[in-house]
């Protein structure tokens, strides 16, 4: 039986392998849709609260990307009509970004396009296992989200 430390290392390795395999799979799927995976990831962030507007600096922080990278993706999404950029009334350099109806539809269509592959991936997992997996991943995600700067060894 593995020790806790051995299991933690193995789970971390498995997450890395899963991330690589899923990224490769997603890249193949994104070759057939209207937006890139980076654009989709950012756009999906807006779908959690479609009425909220965001500044580039806020997005850079929550998406853990540098500001020039976020600005590039935002510009692409604005050019496609998926985000709306409204100048700040007190500082014209700032833009308030909001998802458009077209952006919401694009997210929905993209998820619908991915759904058959997602169902295929999870077809090997029983309903109760999937529910348990979801709960455990939510727990890890919440901890990582709340402890972004709590990195031991740095």
Q: Which residues contact 87 (CB under 8 A, 6 or more apart)?
A: 94, 95, 96
CA 83 to chain CA centroid, Å, is 16
Q: Which residue's structure tokens are 């193995």?
A: 10
Q: Are 99 and 81 in contact (CB under 8 A)?
A: no
Q: What pLDDT score was predicted for residue 83?
A: 98
Q: What is the largest CA-CA distance in the chain?
A: 62
Task: Using pLDDT thresholds of 50, 70 and 90, give the confidence band for residue 1.
Answer: confident
Residue-wise pLDDT for 28-50, tens only, equals 999 999 999 999 999 999 999 99
Q: What pLDDT score was predicted for residue 153?
A: 83
pTM recorded for the entire structure: 0.85
Query: Residue 153 has which token pair?
Result: 């060894």
CA neighbor of 48 nearest in space, from 130, 107, 106 = 107
Helix 37-47 crosses helix 67-79 at what angle (to 10 degrees)?
80
- Would the pLDDT of 6 be above 80? yes
Residue-wise pLDDT for 69-127, tens only, equals 999 999 999 999 999 999 989 988 899 999 999 999 999 999 999 999 999 999 999 99
Question: Across-strand partners of 83?
Answer: 99
31 CB-contact burial (10 Å; exposed 0-12 / middle 13-18 / buried 19+): exposed
Question: Across-strand partners of 94?
Answer: none
């Amino acid at each position: 039986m593995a020790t806790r430390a051995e299991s933690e290392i193995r789970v971390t390795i498995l997450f890395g392998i899963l991330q690589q395999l899923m990224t490769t799979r997603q890249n193949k799927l994104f070759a057939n849709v209207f937006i890139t995976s980076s654009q989709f990831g950012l756009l999906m962030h807006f779908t959690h609260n479609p009425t909220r507007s965001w500044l580039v600096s806020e997005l850079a922080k929550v998406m853990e990307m540098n500001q020039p990278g976020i600005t590039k993706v935002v510009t692409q999404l604005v050019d496609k009509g998926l985000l709306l950029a409204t100048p700040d009334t007190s500082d014209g350099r700032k833009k308030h970004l909001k998802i458009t109806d077209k952006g919401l539809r694009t997210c929905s269509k993209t998820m619908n396009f991915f759904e058959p592959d997602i169902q295929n991936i999870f077809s090997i997992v029983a309903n109760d296992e999937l529910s348990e997996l979801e709960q455990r991943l939510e727990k890890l995600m919440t901890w990582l989200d709340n402890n972004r700067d709590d990195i031991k060894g740095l």
